[in-house]
Copies of this chain bind each other. A is one copy, B any other.
Amino acid sequence: MDFNLSEKTKEKRKQVQTFIKDHIEPMENDYYKELHALDNSYTNLPQLDELKKKAESEGLWNLFLKEGEKEVSKSTEYAPLAECMGHSFLAPEVFNCNAPDTGNMELLLKYGNDEQKEKWLTPLLRGKTRSAFGMTEPAVASSDATNMAATAILEGDEVVINGTKWWTSGAGHPNLDFIIFMGLSLPEGPRHGRHSMVIVPKGTPGLKIERMLSVFGYHDEPFGHGEVTFKDVRVPKSHIIGGIGRGFEMAQGRLGPGRIHHCMRLIGASERALSLLCERSLSKVAFGKPLSHLGGNRERIANARIQIEQARLLVYKAAWMIDTVGVKHAMSEVSQIKVVAPRLSQEITDFAIQIHGGGGVCQDFPLAAMFAGARALRLADGPDEVHLALVARAELAKYQKESREQGNR
């Protein structure tokens, strides 16, 4: 048993932390003020590109990939870096580690053919373009993926795409290059072999971004979350990733590490919230005492620390299992962290808001926006309830197997 990070990871983490502290945090406020003052906030501001250039030049780039950018990093090595990036809304973009691009890059690395890699992956890896992912649909309960109604039907050399996707994050970004669309291709195929993933370039006729969705009032510009319609959209058959009918299989592979990323960022955000609230509780005075000395605040601070420690250890363990026994044998663990981390982050951010008073709910602190992000992640990538159901099934299966075995004797 060893809870140490590798020396290499510690060093990289130090670099990332320093970069965030020295270069990102100081410019955040001005960046957002400038962005939100624009008539159209779906704009790529130049100061961000400069920061990205600097990060890339310092080797702080595509950190979710191993050196050489041919393979994803070990989950245990990337996890601590993802946590650091969770401290800042801008950091993931600056280090080219933003969702859903990371997942899309992993997908193309693993399943893309050479042409796809050259045309779509390379610019993404260099941070020149952004991408989106179209999975969830407004008309159905997407928590049950078999509800998916959109179609991607092969017709000769083309794939014909129809349907509506929403929560297509990144759809509003001016650098958006393509959307990876997932839809039903083989309605008569085996239950998890019916869907395909297809690259749909921005600007393809029939593809329309109908509107941008808000998350508690926020639009998360410049990337945003789109509702996108596909009406008889036609792309060449060569835009299918990995082969027809492999959509589910690839989605599963994508989700394990992706959830590690999300969860570690949420832990980073929780640490940020705890840090802000500790400072605030020491500096603000009411009824003659700092807030840290009033009511149950200290107990809440202690509980927050305890919950963060536990959540981080659980995500580390899930990451370690992905690294050592593979996602398939870490299904329960991955669902466990998907429940724990957003719930934790929502709770701690809520407490931090309370300590900040009126400042906590408004634009003066990042807390309300962090809350909205955590809250949304209790739904994105499967709602809490679906993950709890999976964990319970795995738990009960231990006893059902025993019963079966006993029955067999």
Residues of A within 8 A of B (CB): 1-6, 76, 136, 138, 140-144, 147, 166-167, 213-219, 225, 274-275, 278-279, 281-282, 284-287, 291-292, 294-303, 305-306, 309-311, 313-314, 316-317, 320-321, 332-333, 336, 339-340, 350, 353-354, 357-363, 368-369, 371-372, 375-376, 378-380, 383-385, 387-396, 398-400, 403
Q: Is the CB of A395 within 8 A of B301?
A: yes
* Across-interface contacts of A286 in B (CB, < 8 A): 141, 143-144, 147
Q: Is the CB of B309 within 8 A of A336?
A: yes
Minimal Cβ-Cβ distance residue in B for A369: B217
Please measure, in the bound complex, the distance between the C-alpha atom of A309 and the C-alpha atom of B24, giving whole angstroms.
36
Contacts A3-B1, A306-B391, A383-B357 given; does A213 touch B141 at CB 8 Å = no
Residue among A143, A298, A340 with the most chain B CB within 10 A? A298
Minimal Cβ-Cβ distance residue in B for A312: B313
Which of B217, B279, B300 makes the CB contact (< 8 A) with A218? B217
* Across-interface contacts of A284 in B (CB, < 8 A): 140-141
Minimal Cβ-Cβ distance residue in B for A394: B305
Residue contacts A-B, CB under 8 angstroms, 24 given:
A3-B316, A3-B320, A138-B358, A138-B359, A140-B284, A144-B287, A281-B396, A282-B396, A282-B403, A295-B296, A298-B392, A301-B396, A302-B392, A302-B395, A305-B332, A305-B336, A309-B333, A310-B313, A313-B313, A354-B385, A360-B379, A361-B372, A361-B376, A361-B379
Count of identical protomers in the assembly: 4
* Across-interface contacts of A389 in B (CB, < 8 A): 294-295, 298-299, 302
* Across-interface contacts of A275 in B (CB, < 8 A): 399
Residue among A321, A392, A395 with the most chain B CB within 10 A? A392
Starting from the known contacts A136-B358, A357-B383, 8 additional A-B residue pairs (CB-CB under 8 Å) come to A1-B3, A1-B5, A141-B286, A144-B286, A215-B361, A295-B298, A302-B392, A354-B385
* Across-interface contacts of A339 in B (CB, < 8 A): 302-303, 306
Q: Is the CB of B357 within 8 A of A1?
A: no
* Across-interface contacts of A140 in B (CB, < 8 A): 284
Please measure, in the bound complex, the distance between the C-alpha atom of A263 and the C-alpha atom of B392, giving whole angstroms.
24
Q: Is the CB of A216 within 8 A of B371?
A: yes
Min CB gap A296→B, angstroms: 3
Please measure, in the bound complex, the distance between the C-alpha atom of A338 and the C-alpha atom of B215, giving whole angstroms.
27
* Across-interface contacts of A218 in B (CB, < 8 A): 216-217
Residue among A274, A389, A394 with the most chain B CB within 10 A? A389
* Across-interface contacts of A396 in B (CB, < 8 A): 278, 281-282, 292, 298, 301
Q: Which 3 A-B pairs have the closest CB atoms?
A: A217-B217, A296-B296, A217-B218
* Across-interface contacts of A403 in B (CB, < 8 A): 282
* Across-interface contacts of A316 in B (CB, < 8 A): 1, 3
Q: Is the CB of A217 within 8 A of B372?
A: yes
* Across-interface contacts of A350 in B (CB, < 8 A): 375
Minimal Cβ-Cβ distance residue in B for A215: B361
Min CB gap A127→B, angstroms: 27
Which of B141, B167, B321 makes the CB contact (< 8 A) with A291? B141
Q: Is the CB of B314 within 8 A of A388?
A: no
* Across-interface contacts of A387 in B (CB, < 8 A): 302
